[in-house]
Amino acid sequence: MTLIDLANPTRFLALTARILPWLAAATVLLLAIGLYQAALAPDDYQQGATVKIMFIHVPNAWLSMFVWGVMSIASLGTLVWRHPLADVAAKAAAPIGAAFTFLALLTGSLWGRPMWGTYWEWDARLTSVLILFLMYLGLMALWRAVDDPSRAARAAAVLTLVGALNLPIIKFSVDWWNTLHQPASVMRMGGSALDKSFLIPLLVMAVAFTLLFVTLHLAAMRNEILRRRVRSLQMMQASRVAFSNEIGGARGQNASNEVGAA
């Protein structure tokens, strides 16, 4: 099956029906393995057991940016290739990305309080992620504000691509500015600075959360396709009612004219 085949929503729905149960099972399995490994991971020599927050905070932080990246590619699909499922993908991803970003902010705050002595600091990393969260909310509001999905899609796609400028700012904020947030310790030049006992559970959790996103995203896309079918059937129903009223009105008018003539 090619990408062109998936442009057909009915084929896409058939595909999601087949693969969603497998994806959900793989997600549950990997989450269970990741959580087990996270529970067994040793305490950090400086942070103690609070290092366990990393296994939930870092995957959410990565996904907050990854989901916006997915939405940006989908936006290109809307604006450049006009792929019929591109705006469906972008719209369905926004609430999921917002949830991951919220969790990244919340767990980061809960990690920061015992380690930094504060829940929040207006440093470049924290502020740029907060801006990302607000952009997710703005995008969701935009989708709800415009009734016609194709008109909303184009405006949302432009906003998403402009918002993508924030992604390198988030990634490199810890290098460009002096921040309370630590610099990158996994994806950095010279390899990961994390010990294997932390790195392996972290990577398993990251893959598990990515699978969770893929599963939820496909399910949300399926819902969005069904919502658009509801909308088009409702419009069809409304146009039938309007047409029958028009016919009925014209017949009534003719009848009254005939009575008047008689």
Q: Is residue 84 a contact point for another protein (CB under 8 A)?
A: no
**CB of 15 closer than 8 Å to CB of 36:** no
Stretch that binds another protein, among 61-69, 100-108, 125-133, 164-172 (CB under 8 A): 100-108
Taking CB under 8 A as the criterion, the residue among 6, 7, 13, 167 binding another protein is 13
State the number of binding residues for another protein (CB under 8 A). 41
Residues 27-46 that bind another protein (CB under 8 A): 39, 43
Q: Tokens 């999921």 identify what position? A: 96
Q: At its nearest, how many Å lie between another protein and the CB of residue 121?
A: 16
Q: Binding pattern to another protein, positions 204-243, x when CB under 8 A?
A: --------x---x--xx-xx--xx-xx-xxx-xx--x---
Q: At its nearest, how many Å lie between another protein and the CB of residue 71?
A: 16
3-class SS string, the chain: CCCCHHHCHHHHHHHHHHHHHHHHHHHHHHHHHHHHHHHHCCCECCCEHHHHHHHHHHHHHHHHHHHHHHHHHHHHHHHHHCCCCHHHHHHHHHHHHHHHHHHHHHHHHHHHHHHHCCCCCCCHHHHHHHHHHHHHHHHHHHHHHCCCHHHHHHHHHHHHHHHCCHHHHHHHHHHHCCCCCCCCCCCCCCCCCCCHHHHHHHHHHHHHHHHHHHHHHHHHHHHHHHHHHHHHHHHHHHHHHHHHHHHHHHHHHHHHHHHHHC
Q: At its nearest, how many Å lie between another protein and the CB of residue 133?
A: 13
Q: At its nearest, how many Å lie between another protein and the CB of residue 142?
A: 19
Q: Tokens 């087949």 identify what position? A: 18
Q: Binding pattern to another protein, positions 52-81, x when CB under 8 A?
A: xx--xx--x---------------------
Residue number, 52 or 125, with CB nearest to another protein: 52
Residues in contact with another protein by the rule CB under 8 A: 10, 13-14, 17, 39, 43, 48-50, 52-53, 56-57, 60, 95-96, 99, 102-103, 106-107, 110-111, 113-114, 212, 216, 219-220, 222-223, 226-227, 229-230, 232-234, 236-237, 240
